[in-house]
Chain A
Amino acid sequence: MSTDYTTGTIIRRAFMEAPVLRHGLRLTLFMAMAGQAITVVTPIVIQQIIDEEILAPTGIDMSGVLQKAAVALVALVIGVVVGRVALLRLVKTSSSGLSDLRSKTFGHIMRQSVLHVQAERRGTLVSRVTSDISTLQEFMEWGGIGLIVGLSQVVLATAVMVIYEWRMALIALGGVVIYLMMMRWFQRILAAKYDEVRHEVGVSLGVMSESISAIPVVRAYGTEDTTKARVASAMEKRFRVEFTTGRFGNILYSTAEIFAGILTATLIVAGVLIGIDQGMSAGTLVAFLFLTNLLIEPLQIVVETLEFAQSAASGLRRVIRVLDDEVEIEEPSDPEELRPGGLSVRFDHVGYAYPGGPDVLTDISLEVAVGSRVAVVGETGSGKTTFAKLAVRLLDPSEGAIHIGGVQAPKIPLAHLRDRVAFVPQEGFLFDDTIANNVRYGRTESDDAEIWTAFHELGLGEWVDGLTDGLETRVGERGGSLSAGERQLVAIVRAWIGSPDLLVLDEATSAVDPVLDVALRHAIARLTEGRTSVTIAHRLSTAEGADEVFVFDGGRIVERGRHRDLLKLNGTYAGLYADWASGTNSV
């Protein structure tokens, strides 16, 4: 995969990813330039009015003035209308194209393996589909148009100048070239300074965000004053950097004004000198001053836009990088569907290591027969959760092979696999929606009656009916208005409603209220009944009832067998069990 992201490459990639962007682009550009070209007619006519009518030695012919004024107005109206249509076309294609690009980037991130989404800071990923795209959008709408219109104005003004008087045009163009070189140089100096600004902006936002999130802790520990001081000092630092950088940039850019003055003065002097020898008219020279103004004004815009273009380009570069990240869990090229009925799981010498990290799992071989209930136990960090993610193909192993229902896991179409296999993670994530809609994530077509029945079948009817709005109760951001145990309940119903043939369940580690915990355990028992199930057990009572227990330690399976036999070994399992049992005795 190419890692070279030149501006040309990323723009081509953007057109490829969002073809709408290219839609009718040529016509739009043509119209923008045509509109601009027509508006240039107006100053020419103005010049003619001045030259041929107002300054005419024979006196003013009002009908001539009016005729020419009419031409100027018609040109203006046509130019403006054509220009607006072009702008509108650009706004439409850029909005549509960037919306497509945004959706595509989002979809791509969602297809990345879990590892990826969790490793990167979420805020960073969110900004890929929000602020980075918005910067692009703003650039295309304001900057892009400014650039096109400005550039075409520069080209046209230059052309008109050349037609009028090529020597003067040469001087003006030479000036423009020096001006542009100056600007490039300023920009390069400023770019480094702006990096510093961006850094301080990031730091101050981080401090602010932490302080707001920490308000309850700040309150509980009475550290209001230190918190305010911390934020104030970050804000002050940011302000200083913003201000000094701004001041520096202003001084640099103000030299452009002086330069424009020098250019105008040079043109007058040159025009007069040429005029004396070659008979150039006063009107032509005055028109030249207008044209120079017409040239310098868009140049300033073009230069500022180029600066804007740089930040838009770096935003686009970040977006394209995300799109270029490979999807680690890929759809099979030669798919093989699972047979109906219960599913077995087989691990053959499976190893797993996070990129650049040590092995998390080493040489795991095991078989879970159809319909059997298996428990996996081990200390925190023994690799149990990674094992669970491998078993449902949320991760792919770095070594060895995994078969589900006798088929190699990478050969099973993903949607088909997710339909047949359910995974209940430790932290049952809930969306800020109703209970019913959260359950529906397990099976989109379920109606309320089915969901209600599901709760009752799992012995949770009383719980759900006891909620203020029953199934329609809203669970809040991340399910925050339910307790951790209750969130787990909803996650279990969500798995149940999909009637999976293989269930992988990662028990929650946190202690929950004992009565709720028992309800949860009943529900889990119902859910695993008659199904192949792999439970990552934190409650060792789960292991007691399992057909087979795998004991993980340091990424390897150190003991395996039934609960009773494992206790007799007096090894790792017996130790874990004793620890757990000590926590649950009430007497």
Chain B
Amino acid sequence: MTPWTVVRDGSRLIWRFVKMHPVAFSIAVFGAAMFAAAILASALVIGWITDNVIIPILDQGQEPDLLPIAAAAIIGVAAFKAVGIVLRRTAAGWLQSGTRRDVRNELLAHQLSLKMSWYNKQTIGDLLAVADSDVNQGTGVLGPLPYATGVTMLLIGTVSMISLIDPWLGVSAVVGLVAVIAIDVHGSWVTYGMWEEVQEGRGRVSSIAHESFDGALTVKSLGREHYVSGRFREASEALRDRLIEVNSTWTKYQVIIRALPQLLIVLLLVVGAARIDAGAITAGNVVTVAYLLSLLAFPIQLIGFVLWDLAGSLAGWKRVQAVFDADAHIEYGERAATTDGGAAAILGSAVDFAYDTEPVLTGLDLDIAAGTTLAVVGPTGSGKSTLSLLLARLWDPDSGQIHLDGRDLRTFAGSELPKEVSYVAQDAFLFDTTVRGNITLDAVFSDADIATATRLAGATSFIDELPDGLDTELGERGTTLSGGQRQRLALARALIRKPRLMVLDDATSAVDPSVEAEILMALKSADLPSTIVVVAYRPSSIKLADEVVFLDEKRILGHGSHIELLEASPGYAQLMQAYEKEARRLREEAS
């Protein structure tokens, strides 16, 4: 980063924003120009009043005839300035808030179009920080931007006016102002890197706090509060040091910027005195110039603020841009869903898949007849969840294809495949809305449909016990419900859509075993228009399936009924009988 790149990248960023709301920006700049003009006008008026009212009356004893005009002029200029301020600030507010709104909408739309492979590499906390504080910081420069644009006009106006009054005064003013801006740019460049570090430090403090509060039960049960507090203190102190560093640099520049206008006034007075002495200008001229510069003392600092904000904005925007730059878009075809075709058959051929480099599935072939209830069984890490994610096209195979009723999943248009396939994960995500809203997800379903779905999912009885039944608000992430209850709601959400393929990835793991068996029984006997694929651990559940595939060593090692596999596949038998063996061992031990 050089001072030049801060200016260049900053201008590009500003241009991107201005393009989004050109009208608001123009109005804001117009307001700022009015404001600038008002400041110039007020200096002129003061100079004129000094020359034509104050000095003649007080020093030369003239009559105060012009006094009312002087007063009216000052108030008139102030009113003009007030209108400028309202225009500028209001339009700047539209520009900044509107840009934030648009960028956030764009961000979400972009994230929704990206593949899970990208999403999985992010932490949710980070993505939220990007959508919230990084967008705020990235657009921070928009607040003072119109003002600064106005101030720039003001400066140009001032310098021109001073030059008109006297070229020598003009040259001194130009030299002074260029010095101020050069110092601002330099300071902005120096602090840019420091701000990045401060943001990192903030992120670290926040993530340690998040993690520690999240794991509070564990921390406290291990008596490690002091250790965790020490870790937090370290991060907090690192942040403190960075803040002190950046602020001490900032203050160094700030005092210079504050002092320079005063310095300029003194300089101009000296030059002005010499020019009066030479008979080139009047005393009123010098007073005008001096007053002009005293009014500029604060606006000049504003150019500094914009450049500082620009450094901060660039640092924040870098993280926003990183999300926009992710281009792992899902590719969709043109196909529309066929929702009334009844249960669908599945054919997977030569499917390879890896999350990174380590293969999870290799050369997997799978043939499921329409209407089958299939259990997927296998030890931890055998790829069961991966297979279910592939069937719902949350991920795509690296090679090979998966067909639903002879149609490759990738040929479906966006949002079409979910009309035929419902996927339920182990970790049931509930929205901060009612039970009903969580089941329908804003689609239209009749109460009878909802009743059927909740009954099949074994959720009716606990929903009835909630204070407002289906209309009970569940709160953030549905934390008022137990894990098993959440899973049953997620199941009802899938069932109500009458999918042609339903994929349940360990979706009833937190439900009591007898209830789980009841649910699976109900699903089987309900005559659903669905093929059902269930990832399950409990033998009781697996026994209910029409067919079982046994997944191990990254492929399918057996496919048949539970009884057939028990005989044919030693690995399968070993897995299924593990509980019984353990129970037998304990019983022997006890007796």
Contacts and interface: CB of A to CB of B under 8 A. Distances in A.
B269 A250 contact: no
Contact of B283 (A46, A55, A121): A55
Given A91-B247, A293-B294, A62 B273 contact: yes
A66 B270 CA distance: 7
Interface residues on B, range: 35 or more
Contacts of B517: 582-583
Contacts of A432: 211
Q: Among B75, B123, B543, find the residue whose CB has the most chain A CB atoms closer than 10 A.
A: B75
A92 interface: yes
A80 B255 contact: yes
Contacts of B415: 222-225
B411 to A, nearest CB: 15
Given A88-B248, A220-B418, A265-B75, A518 B262 contact: no
Interface residues on A, range: 35 or more
A103 B85 contact: no
Contacts of B581: 518
Contacts of B536: 511
B577 interface: yes
B220 A110 contact: yes
A513 B259 contact: no
A24 interface: no
A514 B225 contact: no
Interface stretch (A161-169, A282-290, A307-315, A397-405): A282-290
B380 A84 contact: no
Contacts of A114: 216-217, 220
A544 B259 contact: no
B380 A418 contact: no
Given A80-B259, A111-B225, A425-B217, A262 B75 contact: yes
Interface in B405-443: 414-419, 422-423, 425-426, 429, 431-432, 441-443
B243 A95 contact: yes
Given A46-B265, A87-B251, A129-B205, A586 B576 contact: yes
B218 A425 contact: yes
Interface in B215-271: 215-229, 232-233, 236-237, 239-240, 243-244, 247-248, 251-252, 254-256, 258-259, 262-263, 265-267, 269-270
Contact of A54 (B85, B283, B294, B575): B283
B67 interface: yes
B477 to A, nearest CB: 8
A422 interface: yes
Contacts of A579: 512-514
A498 B287 CA distance: 81
A517 B578 CA distance: 9
A55 B379 contact: no
Contacts of A91: 243-244, 247-248, 251
B157 to A, nearest CB: 19
A289 to B, nearest CB: 6
A499 interface: no
A84 B74 contact: no
B153 interface: no
A96 interface: yes
B93 A243 contact: yes
Contacts of B579: 514, 517-518, 541, 584, 586
Given A62-B277, A121-B476, A250-B89, A218 B112 contact: yes
B77 interface: yes
Contacts of B417: 222
B191 interface: no
Contact of B77 (A73, A141, A261): A261
B420 to A, nearest CB: 10
Contacts of A118: 216-217
Nearest to B133: A131
B236 A584 contact: no
A118 B542 CA distance: 36
Interface string A96-136: 10110011001101110010011001100110011000100
Contact of A511 (B205, B255, B537): B537
B528 interface: no
B509 A212 contact: no
B282 to A, nearest CB: 10
B116 interface: yes
B81 interface: yes
Contacts of B55: 55, 282
Contacts of A235: 101, 104-105
Interface string A487-523: 0000100100010000000000111111111100100
Given A429-B218, A468-B358, 6 more contacts: A209-B131, A247-B90, A257-B79, A258-B79, A514-B537, A518-B579
Closest 10 CB pairs of A and B: A261-B78, A418-B223, A583-B513, A222-B418, A423-B221, A246-B93, A222-B415, A429-B215, A265-B71, A99-B240
7 contacts: A50-B283, A54-B273, A87-B251, A414-B223, A477-B211, A518-B581, A563-B590
